[in-house]
Amino acid sequence: MTTLSNQESRSTDETLLNRARAFAVGAHAAIGQKTPYTGEDYSTHLEAVSQLLSRYTSNSTVLAAALLHDVIEDTHVSYELLRREFGIEVATIVQMVSKISKREDGDRATRVAIDIEHYALGNADAHDVKLCDIIVNVSSIVDRAVKFAAVYVPEKQVLIERLTKGNPQIRALAEETVLSELKRLGYR
C-alpha cells in the first residue's frame, strides 16, 4: 500500500481547490451573477468565504465546498453534477448550505424558517461553511442596503442559534458580527 507524500497531498489539495474555483466561477458567470450591491464578480464573495474558512481549517474538501457553496442554490448546477465532479462529501456540504424553500411555500418568514430547519440538519463542516457565508454577507450589508439589512440580519441571528455543530470560534465570530450589525441598525 502506498501513501501520498506531503508534497503529493498538497498538490492534490491544490488541484481540488483550483477545480472547485474554476467550476464555481464558471457556473456563476454562466448566469451573469454579480455580487449584490457592489456589482463585483461573484468570485469575490466565493473567495471571501473560502479565505475566512481557511483561517480555521486546511481541509481541502471543506474549502472546495466553500468555493462551491452557492452553485446549487443560485445556478443551474444540480447536486448530482456536483457529486460526479467533486464527490459526495463536497456535494453534500453544498446541498446542506443551499436554500430548499420555494416561493410557493409561503411568505419570506415561512421560507426562512424552512431553510433554517434544513441548514440545522447539516454536519459540522456545513455549519462552518454557512457561518462563514453569514459573516461575509452580514459584514457589508448594513452599509450597502440598510432597509434589507433590517430584515436580513435578524434572520441570520436566528439561524446562528441553530448552527451549533461547527467550530465554536467561527460561531462566536458570526455572533459578534451579527450583534455589531444589529447595533448599527439600532437594535439593542
Q: In a 10 Å sphere around its CB, with 0-12 CB exposed, 13-18 middle and 19+ buried, how is residue 4 labelled?
A: exposed
* Residue 187 phi, psi (nearest 5): -80, 150
Confidence band for 3, pLDDT divided at 50, 70 and 90: low
Residue 9 has pLDDT above 80, yes or no: no
Confidence band for 68, pLDDT divided at 50, 70 and 90: very high
Residue 10 has pLDDT above 70, yes or no: no
The whole domain housing 71 covers 6-184
C-alpha 156 chain-centroid distance: 13
pTM of the model: 0.93
Higher-confidence residue: 139 or 2? Answer: 139
How many domains does one find in the chain? 1
Residue 84 lies in a domain: yes
Confidence band for 20, pLDDT divided at 50, 70 and 90: very high
pLDDT 10s digits, 29-39: 999 999 888 88
Residue 1 lies in a domain: no
Rounded to an integer, the average pLDDT of 55-83 is 98
pLDDT at 12: 73
pLDDT 10s digits, 82-126: 999 999 999 999 999 999 999 999 999 999 999 999 999 999 999
When the pLDDT of each residue in the chain is averaged and rounded to a whole number, the result is 94
Which DSSP string corresponds to 42-80?
THHHHHHHHHHHHTT---HHHHHHHHTTTHHHHSS--HH
For residue 123, give the CATH number of its domain. Answer: 1.10.3210.10
Residue 167 has pLDDT above 90, yes or no: yes
